[in-house]
Chain A
Amino acid sequence: MEDTVLNPTSSPQSSNRRAVRFDDAQIIIGLEVHVQLDTDSKLFCGCSTRFGEAANSQTCVVCTGMPGALPVINQRALELSIRAGLSLNCQIARSTKWDRKNYFYPDLPKGYQISQFDQPICGPGHLDIETSDATGQARRIRIERAHLEEDAGKSIHDESSRRQDSKIDLNRTGTPLLEIVTQPDIRTAAEAKAFLSELKLILNYIDVSDCNMQQGNLRCDANVNLHIPLGDEQIATPIVEIKNLNSFRAVERSITHEAQRQFEAWQEHGLTIADAPKQTRGWNDHTQTTTLQREKEDSADYRYFPDPDLIAVKIEESQIQEIESQLEQLPADLRKLLAEQYNLKSADASVIVSQGRGVVDYFLKVADGCEDSKIANNWIGQEVLRQLNESNQTIEQYPVSPQQFTDLLKLVIAGTLDQTRGKEVLNAMVADCISPEEAVQQLGIKPVDNNELVSLCEKLIDENQDVVEQIQSGNGKAIGMLIGKARKINPNANPGLVKAMLSKMISA
C-alpha cells in the first residue's frame, strides 16, 4: 500500500509539494483510550481482575466462553463508567445496550467481544487541558463517546521461533474496560500527552482506574493525519491509527514521528485521504518508528449485532444524580482552589494537584493549620515530595501527619526554627517517626538568649578582624562567613538574629 504511486514524483504537483514546509502542516489527532475499571470482579462474571496471578487461574465457565455459559453485567462497572462520564462532562445514556463485535483471535474465547456499538453508556463530552503555549489558554478536547467492553486475554508468542506454539492466558479476559474516544481535536503531540495526563489524573481522583500503564490498565491508540495547505487547497493525508502505545512518551514520540513520516510520504507520492483507506501502524519502541501492521482483508468486518444474551440497562436520572453527588472535586477544580483561595502560582498548584488527591488533602490541612499557604507549598512541594520520591512512598505512608507538619511549620513561622534547622527537624521526624517537639529535643535545639548572642558576636568580631575589615570596606556579603562560623559554634543561633546583631556591632 505504501509503495503505490499515483502521481509520478517528477510531476508539477510534486514540485509544488516540495515547496511546502513541514511547519505549515497541521497535525490532526484523535485518541482512543482503553481504561481498565477498578472493579473487584470481571465485567460479566465473578472472577477476580487482579493482575499478575498464575496463568489461567482466574477464569470460569463464563469468561472462557464455555458452551452454555451466560454473562451478567457487573453493577460497579456501570457506576464507574457513569462516574467517569460525568467527570468528562459526557451525556450519560438513559438506556444502553450490548453488542457483539465478532472476530477470531485465540485470546478471544467466545469469538466475539461484548461491547457497545450504537448506544454507548457515555455520549458526547469534553475535557479541558492546560497547554504550555504562549496564550496560556486551556484547550477543549471534545469527547465523542465512552463505552464499556470486555477485555481479551493475553497471547504470548515465542519471539525466538515462529514455529513455536503461542500460549494463551485468559486471566484478563472479561476485565471491564472503558473505551474513551476523542474527537480529532488534538493538534500536537504535547497536547496528546497533556490530554492523557489529565485524563489519567481525573480517573485516579475519582477512583475509576489506577491507569497503571505498565500493567496495561491504560492503553492508547492514536489516529493521526495532516492537513496541509497547498495553494488555495487544504490537503488531508490518509489517516493512520497507531497502536500499542503503552507509555506517555510513546504517545508523544510516535505522533511526532508519524507526522513527519506522513509529511515525507505525501511529498513523495501526494496520496491524500481520498486515495488510501485508514491504515494501522504499530509503534516500535526500539526503532522509534511506526511500521505497517499486517491485516487480514476481513478484519474490519466485525458483524456487530445486539447481544441476545444481555438485556438493555436503563439508567435513572436519580441514579446519575446520586453518583454525581458523590463525586469529589476534580483536579481542575482543585487547581483553581489552590490558585484562588490559597494564592499559589498556577505552576505550583499544578504540581500539588498532579500528585493526587492525597497530597492535595495533606496540603490543605497543613495550609489551613499553619495559616500560611506559601510556606506550606514550599515545604510540601519541595521537601515532602522529594522525600516521598526518594523513599518511593505514597502520602498515605508518609510518617509525618498533617498535624505534626503543621506544628513544625508553626515553629518555622514563629522563627523558633530557621529553614535549615527546620529541615533537620523534619528529617528527624521522618527518620524516627517522632513529633516536632521530640525532634527539637533530640537535636538539642533550644532558644539562645540575648546575652549569649552578644558574647557570641563579640567573640566572632574579635577573632575575625580581617572579615570585619572586608565588611567595613563595602563587601557586605562577607558577613555570611561570620554567620557560618556562628552556626558552627552554636547551631541554635538564629542566623537572622546573628546577622542583625553583627551588622549593628560592626557598623557601630
Chain B
Amino acid sequence: MTLSALNADVIVDQLNAGEVTATDCVQHFLDRIQIHNAELNAFIRVSESALEQAEAIDQRRKSGESLGSLAGLPIAIKDGICVSGQPTTAGSKMLENFSPPYDATIVERLKSADAIIIGKTNMDEFAMGSSTENSFFGPTNNPWATNRVPGGSSGGSAACVAARLAPVAIGSDTGGSIRQPASFCGITGLKPTYGRVSRYGLIAFASSLDQIGPMTRTAKESALLMSVIAGFDPRDSTSSKEQVSDFLTGLETPLAGLRIGVCRDHLNEGLDVEVKTKINDAISVFKQLGANIEEIELPQTKSAIAAYYIIAPCEASSNLARYDGVRYTFRAQANDLEEMYRNTRGQGFGDEVKQRIMLGTYALSSGYYEAYYLKASKVRRMIKQDYDEAFKKVDLILGPTTPTPAFKLGQHTQDPLAMYLADIYTVSANLAGIPAISVPVEPSSTGLPIGLQLQGRAFEENTLLRAAHQFQNETLWHTASPSEPWRTQS
C-alpha cells in the first residue's frame, strides 16, 4: 500500500518499526503536494525544512534516541497558526510577509512529539468565511469536485487531507471552520471543548469562539493528535485545567446504552433532502451499534446564527485593530498617520474581513452595545442552557454538519447571508463551548461528501471520538477517496 493510503497511526507504527523512514515519508507527501497543489491550492506554503527535519528524526532514531509519539509523521497546519520563523499569513495580504518569532503552543507540542510540519494550509482570510474563497492566496478547490468549494475557513487543511497531500492536518473552528470543511471534503474534523486546546499562537478571529482541532481521515487519528495538542497552557488564560485523558483508550468501548439525542427541528427546514436521508441512515447505524436514540429540543439554537454574527464580528473588530501598519509587515502609502491607518486597512484586508470589522465596529459603537453584543451574549446563555438541559437526557446530540453538500465556487460570494447559513448547525457548539465532531456518511448520489455532526458535553471528547470511531468501523464511508485526476462536478 502506498503511504498516502495509510492512516496516520499506521504510518507512525511503520516509522517506529523502521519499515519506512521519515525522509521517505515526507518525500512522498512532498511529491504529492508538488503534483497536486497547483490544482487544489490547499497549501499556501510548503515547509522548506521538512526534509531536513525528517532526516534528523531518522538520524536520532538510528542512534537509538527515544522519540516523540508522532515521530516522523508529516502534518499540515492551517496558516492562521504561528510557526516560528515561517511566514504565517492567516490568508491575508495584511500578513503576507509576517514571520512570527514564536511557536503556537500546539506547534510546540507537535514539534516536541517529533511530528514534521510539512506546510501551511490555505484558509479564508483571518478565518472569516465558509468556503476558503476569501483567501488573499486564491481559493482552494474541493478534491471531490474541483469546481466546488472545500468549505472553510480551514478549507486548505480539509482539502489536503482529503486529497492525501498530508496524512493529517490542524485547523481552527470559530463557527464551524473545522467541521464544515471536513463535511464538504469527506474527512473527520473535531472542534474540541473551548479551553481544551491552547489558543496561544492562533491568530485570533473571535477569541471566545476560536478553538484549534484535528482534521484527519479517521476519528482514531483525531484521537492521536488530540493526545498531543490538548491540555492546559499557562500562557492562555482561557485554557482549561480539566484533566486530559488519553484520547486513544476507550475508543472500542461498545456504544450499547449510549443515549444519542436528535433534534427534529434540525432535520427539517432548509435541509437538503439527500443530506436528510443519509443522516437518517446514520441514525440507524447508531441504533444497530446499540445506542438509544431520543428526541431532544434545542429551541434557542434557531437564534444561534444571528447571535454568532453579532458576537464574532464584534470580537473580530477589536482583534483585528492591531493590523494598523505600524508593526506587522504591510503598510500602505500615506502622508500622515490617519491616512496610513485607513489606507493600510482599506488595502490590506479583503472585502469579507472589512465587512465584518464594519459590522462589529457598528455593533459595539456608542449606544448599540446593549442592543447587540449584550443581547447576543444573553441569547448565547440561553443556547448554552438548552444544551445543559439536553445533556441531562442524552450523552450526544446527532445531526447534519451542514444543510447541503459542497456548493460551487462563486455560488454564494455575493450573498453573505446564504454563506452564513452554511454554519447553521455548527455555530451553536462554539457559542456553548462544547465539543463537536464531523464524520463522513454516505456521499450524495452525485458523489459529494456529506457530514454527520455529533456534539457532546464539555470535556467529553472521548465520547465523541468513541462514537465516531465505531461508526467508522461500521460504515467505512471515511475510507473513500476522491479519484485522481480530480474531477469537476456540476
Please indicate whether A and B come from the same complex rather than being unrelated chains: yes
A residues lining the B interface (CB < 8 Å): 61, 64-73, 100, 102, 104, 106, 109-112, 166, 168, 300-301, 303-305, 308-311
* Contact B322–A311 (Cβ < 8 Å): no
Which chain B positions have C-beta within 8 A of A109? 322, 326-327
Which chain A positions have C-beta within 8 A of B98? 67
Which chain A positions have C-beta within 8 A of B200? 68-70
Inter-chain pairs besides A66-B327, A67-B95, A309-B204, 19 sampled, C-beta below 8 Å: A61-B101, A64-B327, A65-B327, A67-B88, A68-B81, A69-B201, A102-B321, A102-B364, A104-B341, A106-B337, A111-B322, A111-B324, A300-B366, A301-B365, A305-B314, A305-B373, A308-B206, A308-B208, A308-B315
* Contact A67–B203 (Cβ < 8 Å): yes
Q: How far is the CB of B63 from chain A (nearest CB, A)?
A: 34
Q: How far is the CB of B436 from chain A (nearest CB, A)?
A: 20
Cβ contacts B177-209/A at 8 Å (1 or 0 each): 000000000000000000000011111101110
Please choose the segment from B15-23, B25-33, B233-241, B444-452 that sits at the chain A interface, where 4 or more of its residues have CB less than 8 A away: B233-241
* Contact B102–A66 (Cβ < 8 Å): yes
Given A72-B235, A301-B365, answer yes or no on A67-B199 (Cβ-Cβ < 8 Å). no
Interface residues of B in 192-229 (CB under 8 A from A): 199-204, 206-208
* Contact A301–B366 (Cβ < 8 Å): yes
Q: How far is the CA of A69 from the CA of B88 in the complex (A)?
A: 13
Which chain A positions have C-beta within 8 A of B102? 61, 66, 69
Q: How far is the CA of A66 from the CA of B98 in the complex (A)?
A: 10
* Contact B104–A68 (Cβ < 8 Å): yes
* Contact B237–A72 (Cβ < 8 Å): yes
Q: How far is the CB of B384 from chain A (nearest CB, A)?
A: 15
Interface residues of B in 226-261 (CB under 8 A from A): 234-238
* Contact B318–A311 (Cβ < 8 Å): no
* Contact B321–A111 (Cβ < 8 Å): yes
Q: How far is the CB of B102 from chain A (nearest CB, A)?
A: 5
Of the listed residues B82, B88, B237, the one surrounded by the most CB atoms of chain A closer than 10 A to its CB is B237
List 14 A-B pairs, Cβ < 8 Å.
A67-B88, A67-B95, A67-B203, A70-B238, A102-B364, A301-B366, A303-B318, A303-B361, A305-B314, A305-B373, A308-B207, A309-B207, A309-B237, A311-B238
Of the listed residues A65, A100, A304, the one surrounded by the most CB atoms of chain B closer than 10 A to its CB is A65
* Contact B206–A67 (Cβ < 8 Å): no
Q: How far is the CA of A110 from the CA of B321 in the complex (A)?
A: 6
* Contact A66–B100 (Cβ < 8 Å): yes
Q: How far is the CA of A61 from the CA of B200 in the complex (A)?
A: 11
Query: Closest residue to A303 on the B side, CB-wise?
Result: B364
* Contact A67–B100 (Cβ < 8 Å): yes
Which chain A positions have C-beta within 8 A of B369? 303-305
B residues lining the A interface (CB < 8 Å): 81-82, 88, 90, 95, 98, 100-102, 104, 199-204, 206-208, 234-238, 314-315, 317-318, 320-324, 326-328, 337, 341, 361, 364-366, 369, 373
* Contact A71–B237 (Cβ < 8 Å): yes
Of the listed residues A64, A168, A308, A310, the one surrounded by the most CB atoms of chain B closer than 10 A to its CB is A308
Of the listed residues A61, A102, A112, A305, the one surrounded by the most CB atoms of chain B closer than 10 A to its CB is A305
Given A68-B81, A304-B369, answer yes or no on A106-B326 (Cβ-Cβ < 8 Å). yes
Of the listed residues A68, A100, A109, the one surrounded by the most CB atoms of chain B closer than 10 A to its CB is A68
Q: How far is the CA of A68 from the CA of B107 in the complex (A)?
A: 12
Q: How far is the CA of A73 from the CA of B236 in the complex (A)?
A: 10
Query: Closest residue to A100 on the B side, CB-wise?
Result: B318
9 nearest A-B residue pairs (beta carbon): A111-B321, A308-B208, A303-B364, A308-B207, A68-B201, A67-B203, A65-B322, A68-B82, A301-B366
Q: How far is the CA of A360 from the CA of B234 in the complex (A)?
A: 43
Which chain A positions have C-beta within 8 A of B328? 66-67
Q: How far is the CA of A112 from the CA of B235 in the complex (A)?
A: 20
Q: How far is the CA of A67 from the CA of B327 in the complex (A)?
A: 10
* Contact B322–A305 (Cβ < 8 Å): no
Which chain B positions have C-beta within 8 A of A168? 326
Query: Closest residue to A44 on the B side, CB-wise?
Result: B237
Which chain A positions have C-beta within 8 A of B326? 106, 109, 168
Given A102-B321, A104-B341, answer yes or no on A311-B201 (Cβ-Cβ < 8 Å). no
* Contact B238–A309 (Cβ < 8 Å): yes
Q: How far is the CB of A438 from chain B (nearest CB, A)?
A: 57
> In the complex, which of the residues A66, A301, A305 contacts B318, with contact meaning CB atoms closer than 8 Å?
A305
Q: How far is the CA of A129 from the CA of B203 in the complex (A)?
A: 50
Q: How far is the CA of A301 from the CA of B327 in the complex (A)?
A: 24
Q: How far is the CA of A111 from the CA of B98 in the complex (A)?
A: 18
Q: How far is the CB of B352 from chain A (nearest CB, A)?
A: 18
Q: How far is the CB of B138 from chain A (nearest CB, A)?
A: 21
Q: How far is the CA of A301 from the CA of B367 in the complex (A)?
A: 10
Q: How far is the CB of B374 from chain A (nearest CB, A)?
A: 9
Which chain B positions have C-beta within 8 A of A73? 237
* Contact B364–A311 (Cβ < 8 Å): no
Query: Closest residue to B101 on the A side, CB-wise?
Result: A61
Q: How far is the CA of A67 from the CA of B318 in the complex (A)?
A: 12
Q: How far is the CB of B336 from chain A (nearest CB, A)?
A: 9
* Contact B101–A66 (Cβ < 8 Å): yes
Q: How far is the CA of A64 from the CA of B323 in the complex (A)?
A: 12
* Contact B324–A112 (Cβ < 8 Å): no
Q: How far is the CB of A164 from chain B (nearest CB, A)?
A: 12
* Contact A70–B235 (Cβ < 8 Å): yes
> In the complex, which of the residues B204, B237, B320, B324 contacts A310, with contact meaning CB atoms closer than 8 Å?
B237
Q: How far is the CB of B60 from chain A (nearest CB, A)?
A: 29
* Contact A70–B236 (Cβ < 8 Å): yes
Which chain A positions have C-beta within 8 A of B90? 67
Q: How far is the CB of B96 from chain A (nearest CB, A)?
A: 13
Which chain A positions have C-beta within 8 A of B204? 67-68, 309
